[in-house]
Amino acid sequence: MMNRILRTAITALLLAHLNLTLNAAFDEKTVQVSKGVEGKLVVPRDSNTVRAVLILHGFNDHLDGVGNLQEQLAHGLAEAGIGSLRINFRGEGIRNNSVITSTKESRIEDGEASFRFLKKQFPNANLGVQGWSLGGSTAILLIGTQPSWFKSTVLWSSGGSNSRDQLRQARDPERNARIKKIILEGSAVHESWAKITYTRENYVSWIGFEAEDYLPNYHGAFLGIRGTKDFLPLHEPDWMKLLPGDRTAYHVIGGADHIFNVLEPDNGQGDRVVALTVDWFADTLGE
């Protein structure tokens, strides 16, 4: 009796999954973007789509994002007829046992390779880029060095100023001791949401990064989204003064932290962030 009930439950789950797959407005597959860079390509069932977005994860994260919020974004975009590619950066995440060997330069290389891959998949599409936290910093580097690549940009909780971001955290003795160890010994371990080994190559590569060196080059649409409880400062008002495009805006979400409370089911703001982002790309990438 119990085995029959269990088999029935399993069958129901499989059928539900099959129905969701059959009814989905998109196809999703794992792809090899370049050597060492894996991604997930989402293609709306309308294969003639003329809009697509490159999605970039944050520090020591993975392509689905914290709480799978960037996966949710990719699927939301597909429902709006917009394709996407999200990637795993080399030198970060669980595949590397949380030993961070990526650099600013390697992130740029991976982002550039991903742009070329996405452009090949959607050769006639207007392209956008979305980045979360360090993925936002990476997006700033891309739109500043290749300003013609992307017609629209959305950043979530983005870093933007190496000096200003660090100044805000300068009174943290534990953090300062960790940085000193990184520089003197080559690495240091920090336990937060995971046990992360920071490396000298990663830390040093980002010294001197300032958004103001890149944003004035970009004339496309730009949206920044940040929470009032983000540990990073509110850069967006200053960014609005730097951006020369005529479609620029930012949203500050009350009570939201750096990850928009996505790990708190009763307090998460992730759905709102995704909705704002999908609407922005739908409006700014054209038909």
Which pLDDT score is estimated for 19? 42
Predicted confidence pLDDT, tens digits, the chain (287 residues): 444 444 434 434 443 443 444 457 899 999 999 999 999 999 998 767 899 999 999 998 999 999 999 999 999 999 999 999 999 999 986 656 688 999 999 999 999 999 999 999 999 999 999 999 999 999 999 999 999 999 999 999 999 876 555 555 556 788 888 888 988 999 898 877 678 898 999 999 999 999 999 999 999 999 999 999 999 999 999 999 999 999 999 999 999 999 999 999 888 899 999 999 999 999 999 86
Note whether 275 and 251 are within 8 A (CB).
no
Number of residues that this document lists for the chain? 287
Contact 88, 38 (CB under 8 A): yes
Q: Which two tokens stand for residue 261?
A: 């409370």
Fold classification of 25-164+208-284 is Rossmann fold (3.40.50)
Residue 164 contacts residue 233 (beta carbons within 8 Å): yes
- Can you give the pTM of this predicted structure? 0.88
Burial of 205 (0-12, 13-18, 19+ CB in 10 A): middle
Centre a 10 Å sphere on the Cβ of residue 225 and count the other Cβ atoms it contains.
26
Would you state the structure tokens that stand for residue 153, as one six-digit string? 């940009």
User: What was the pLDDT predicted at 15?
Assistant: 36
Is residue 219 within 8 A of residue 245, CB to CB? The reply is yes
pLDDT at 10: 44
**CA–CA dist 105, 109 (Å, integer):** 6
Give the span between the Cα atoms of 57 and 134, in whole angstroms: 7
Short-list 42, 121, 120, CA closest to 85: 42
Whole-angstrom distance, CA of residue 45 vs CA of residue 21: 12
